[in-house]
Structure 1
């Protein structure tokens, strides 16, 4: 069969699956309580409006105690979590005990503030953790009903590093089922809401992180990203999120684990409300691999090359990028040119039209030993036998399945994936990789839409399941990307843009994030809008 015909068949099958989702969800989706008109209260405690960097400095200087800071965030979580359902298990009592120990340590420290800053840069600062990361003593289920009761016995390496730097975990946050969907919803912990509009999604899979950070219930958090799972929640919830160059920050002790070649595409990185926290967090989370990045290099934005790509070129699988997102990206270009005295060049890559097919193909590749990735249906059945997606679909229609429609749909879609990658798609990926790498080098960044639209209403991604390819393509290209908020749009929902850098050039995108925060205002309190 000719490659063009194979592609048409693949596109038809994918659209058919999406059409089935649409019909079934309209017929059988459970009704949720009305949330229209409900709104988050504003974040009134001034401690909630400081960056982690500022909080750590105040704690070291004894201008505020760690107990006061942790208590302020506990109070805020208790205030907003009934509305957003982001934190699924707290450790408030333990966090307050640890904060008291921090305050005692500071009282007894004789080496001065500089010693504490060097050794414990996040001392006394509260931290939220995506539940798919192991956090000792906390649930470690990734929203799978069959893993109910599983409790982590160790800390995932980046969590351990943040704790060692003095951060205090206050709880774990919700994810999509098995971390493989762009809405954080599962049968174990329910659905997470967007703090700017409770009837809209918080994104996934790090949606609980995005939601509680956007709601000012956390100041820093940790996420993972294999198709946009840091960047989409950061975009939808109006915060900063960084997809690190792969294999810099450890992805060990996460559930589900990667298999096949997926470890080449997954990234672990920081999520936060204030851009100045991205760099110090990444320095900590990179641990022994921090030398791979040039995080201490000062960046002169006037010496960078800036490129902008307005959309994917018109893929038949994705929505067109909305006017307000194209307009805000254009405003970024105009401000860069005005403020820095540079020219931002618009470029286009026809291969981006195949973003989903490239992501889908490479996610299914076998590792160097020929071992294929674990089937999603097998993960759905853990720790027992693999799930049968067709049977789960029938059970879901009568309200008896322990899985979400998104997970069932992914299991069904997996059945259409060819075991042998299409040469046509691999050629497109290699061409795109070569052209993008050459364009970026070590001194350039690309602006690219974060998604096709602002945060959709609950369950609506099922109707157009391929829009995540705007983020997913950069996982396969193995590039660092910082998601940056750019104010609120027509419906009061966050706008944003992805800033893409060359491999190991994370410091460039983080520097641009600082500029964009200063220029466009960064995070906005959803309770004040």
Structure 2
């Protein structure tokens, strides 16, 4: 129980609690912020050596902040996350902490002010325990880099943590914080949530400020694909934290006004039987109370191709400049040298992704076509999703072994066309997407599903998410490393 044994709540119960519950317990005097922060720090010290999720500790400062909050006058207005310990993806600037992007050439860079998202969370009373690992420049769906190394899945350390918010997912899966915050331009919140049994929410386009996120989105078509959003233990936390960080609050809605769309059978993309069973079970349950239909959303089947082309619009030049700003290495030569010697400064996941961006860079004529497709698609999809919520898988399997996810998505054989459609749809069209744990596979690895709709339908998304969470289990803290 840390330094204070007076709490009526056990350490295990506090590690299992979501941010809303901890905030309530602090407000009601059942626990102090100092106790909660101590419990989470001690837990992180125990589990982090196995998962390598926390790459920069903020423990001393967190304990000081917690004590200050506990000493505040009872009449002081307190935010909705007052005294709650959280974690932050390394990509977000936190004042007086590093923002490296997992690059050796940035290992000493200290942020002088908070990212907008971080500032809002602090204003709401949250206390930051530390920053969590990402792939280099967040440019991969597996979390490994030359500066901090590889993050492991707490459910099975031989399996991927996903990415790019892989450190957040691993930490939260093991119960290392009450909640956290990540970012998602290609499944970066949803892959880690799905693989670790965590709840995650990717907001729709332009709903949350990206100021203070590294790397910054500088290309308009990429910026619309990106979302800064919460990760944690419950749908209600996603709703609460989204309300804190979003530009506008969600509008009250009724599920009676919506029909539920399930992806059509027979599409030529892989899906494990375990995942089919999870989706089928949700479909059967929902049919008892709401309208559920099988269909293929507009532009679903070409969204993976569009996603890859949009990610390759500049041939990876902006990322290459950040990665190689202190040397003159050719990215192809750097990749070859790393595969032979393993002694370069750039992780091969990043250099190979940059090579792929050059190979898949669209021509100027194709860019004009893409812009036209996006303009027309936005109109059609908005009409389709006006009163519809989609339930989609996240990936075709639960968490694979380290390296396999990268091979499936970054193969020169364009296998991303098979494996990315479920994820790419929400990115390409800038749609809000909520990931909820809803089952497990034959190895007891978590399986999540997405609830997707259009901007403005966030309230309905959260309402449906709570139904799925309540019926199919939701978050279950991994205690294997306790």
Mark the CA change 1:163 to 1:483 in structure 2 (over 3 Å): closer, same or farther: same
CA displacement at 1:352 relative to structure 2? 2.7
Within 5 Å, give how 1:133-212 maps onto structure 2.
133-212=92-171
1:134·1:253 contact (CA, 8 Å) conserved in 2?
Answer: yes
Rounded to whole Å, the distance in 2 between the matches of 1:279 and 1:468 is: 26
Tell me what 1:235 maps to.
194
CA contact (8 A) 2:173 2:198 kept: yes
- Match of 1:62, SS? coil
What is the match of residue 69 of structure 1?
Answer: 36
Give distance in 1, aligned partners of 2:365 and 2:159: 36
Q: What's the offset of the Cα at 1:189?
A: 0.3
What is the CA-CA distance between 1:374 and the residue it aligns to?
4.4
Deviations 1:104-136 (A, max 9, x none): 11xx2236xxx53xxx11100001000010011
Secondary structure at the aligned position of 1:321 is classed as coil
Offset at residue 516 of structure 1 (A): 1.2
Residue 393 (1) aligns with residue 335 (2): yes
Cα distance in 2 between the residues matched to 1:94 and 1:462: 36
- Any idea what the Cα deviations from partners look like across 1:56-106, whole Å, max 9, x if unmatched? 11111211110000011001101110111000111111101100011111x
> Secondary structure, in 3 states, of the residue corresponding to 1:415?
helix
* SS state at 1:474 partner: helix
What is the CA distance between 1:449 and its match in structure 2? 1.2
Kindly state the Cα deviation for residue 139 of structure 1 after the two structures are TM-superposed.
Answer: 1.4
When the two structures are aligned, how many residues end up with a matched partner?
A: 460
Pick one of 318, 323, 342 that aligns with 1:375. 318
Q: 1:251 to 1:374 in 2, by over 3 A?
A: farther
The equivalent position to 2:212 in structure 1, one of 244, 253, 264, is 253
Structure 1 residue 468 displacement after superposition: 3.5
Of 303, 323, 343, which residue of structure 2 is paired with 1:355?
Answer: 303
Is the aligned partner of 1:344 residue 2:292? Answer: yes
Counterparts of residues 88-127 of structure 1 (less than 5 Å) = 88-105=55-72, 108-110=73-75, 115-116=77-78, 120-127=79-86
Counterpart secondary structure, 1:151:
coil
Cα distance in 2, alignment partners of residues 165 and 62 from structure 1 = 18
Q: Aligned equivalents of 1:387 and 1:258: distance in 2?
A: 24
Q: Distance in 2 between matches of 1:51 and 1:199?
A: 27
Q: Match of 2:287, SS?
A: helix
Show the counterpart of 2:174. 215
Q: TM (normalized to structure 1)?
A: 0.83
Residues 1:46 and 2:5 are matched in the alignment: no
Aligned equivalents of 2:132 and 2:265: distance in 1?
Answer: 32
Give the conservation status (yes or no) of the 8 Å contact 1:376–1:410: no
1:439 matched residue in structure 2: 384
Aligned match of 1:281:
241
Q: Is the 8 A contact 2:141 2:406 kept in 1?
A: no
| Equivalent position of 1:332 in the other structure | 282
Rate the CA distance shift 1:214–1:390 in 2: closer, same or farther, 3 A: same
| CA–CA separation in structure 1 for the residues paired with 2:380 and 2:272 | 26
Q: Secondary structure of 1:100's partner?
A: helix
- Seen in structure 2, the aligned counterparts of structure 1 residues 311 and 171 have a Cα distance that, compared at 3 Å, is farther
Cα distance change of structure 1 residues 528 and 390 upon mapping to structure 2, 3 Å threshold: closer
Task: Give 5+ residue unaligned stretches, structure 2.
Answer: 1-9, 410-415
RMSD: 2.1
Aligned to 2:4: none
Other structure's SS at 2:71 match: helix
Alpha-carbon shift at residue 314 of structure 1 (Å): 2.0
Q: What is the distance in 2 between the residues matched to 1:127 and 1:356? A: 33
Q: Deviations over 1:207-237 (max 9, x none)?
A: 0000000001111100111111111111111
